[in-house]
Copies of this chain bind each other. A is one copy, B any other.
């Protein structure tokens, strides 16, 4: 791939090269504006549209909106056209469009470090899958020790449940340790209090573009047209609350207190060079779930931990897990075909998370309950502390990126620090 630079400086190793151009939203004078990340800056799409610099590309109302939903509804043809235009405005060689560069560019850019990012879409429905074979097997062993870990339905469909949309929060939002019912080992019945088994789940979620008509399933061959892009997702989980409440209707308060997403939606168009094959599936799925070859994405993922003591001592975060999104058993196309096969309506801005992404190696697990084998093999952190589950003051950072030589795009971070229970 030929190397292209932007005239906006992009530091080596930046997630936000000109190949990326992910979409987000930031607070602006009491309102919200949409933007594109480039290097350390945000290109203000409101300003761009307002200045007439997208004329002939798309209705500028899409860019001057306070959420991405209108642009999500516009569909892939508009997305591609806009992407090409933005790349032309930002490329540094003489093959671009100089109209932005020739203006006083200062009015069009905001420093990322000075911006307060917000969740960029109105989320109609949030669905959380369970699509990692390794994670489903590991959790089955821990939650149902006396039976077969993988339930009989798992290899036939991408299992999922609906999560809470009101508590999907942006990178950096403090995570309040939840109170709830749990059943300590030496207790007669449930007790109430702060969760003692606060955990993370490393996930990647997709954000939908145009919806379907109510009653009309999206065939797997058309599913890609309904996916705009991806974000990192931390599905914070209170394992003790979850274990006591989850039968028979699934997770509820053990998950609903917070779900953190990264601020930038990396588009499928940007991820296209990293599209690859997922793992084989055995048995072959039913017909409506077939035809998703080369629908995995090679996205490296990492989980970093820092404790309060580490930060006080000036010690850098440690990486406690590394895995890859391409390991998932069920693809996003299969997930979307499955969700809509009963006629369910999806809408622009829905969030569909992958479920915890765990690899086959001990250091590639996407949750603490797996990494520490339910706190029986705690993680040793610098300074002599150990961690089974999260303590107050701990900060977790999810990272994700794609690389081929010098060509790199990334997701930024999905961070959250634990604050004490009320």
Contact = CB atoms under 8 A, between A and B. Distances in A.
A419 to B, nearest CB: 9
Q: Chain A's interface: helix, strand, loop or mixed, by majority?
A: loop
A24 interface: no
B248 A342 contact: no
Given A125-B164, A163-B162, A344-B166, A422 B217 contact: yes
Interface stretch (A31-39, A172-180, A321-329, A410-418): A172-180
Given A166-B214, A166-B347, A253-B342, 10 more contacts: A153-B244, A153-B247, A159-B249, A167-B344, A178-B343, A179-B341, A248-B250, A249-B250, A249-B251, A256-B344
8 contacts: A153-B181, A153-B247, A156-B190, A161-B250, A166-B347, A247-B248, A253-B342, A256-B342
Interface stretch (A14-22, A222-230, A282-290): A282-290
Contacts of A164: 125, 162, 344
Interface string A250-282: 111100111000000000000000000000000
A215 B176 contact: yes
B162 A256 contact: yes
A238 B342 contact: yes
A350 B143 CA distance: 31
Given A153-B244, A162-B163, A253 B339 contact: yes
Interface of A: 124-125, 130, 140, 143-144, 151, 153, 156-157, 159-167, 169, 176, 178-181, 189-192, 211, 214-217, 238, 241, 244-253, 256-258, 283, 286-288, 338-339, 341-347, 350, 422
Copies per assembly: 2
A199 to B, nearest CB: 14
A345 B166 contact: yes
Contacts of A166: 124-125, 211, 214, 344-347, 350
A219 to B, nearest CB: 12
Contacts of A162: 161-164, 252, 256
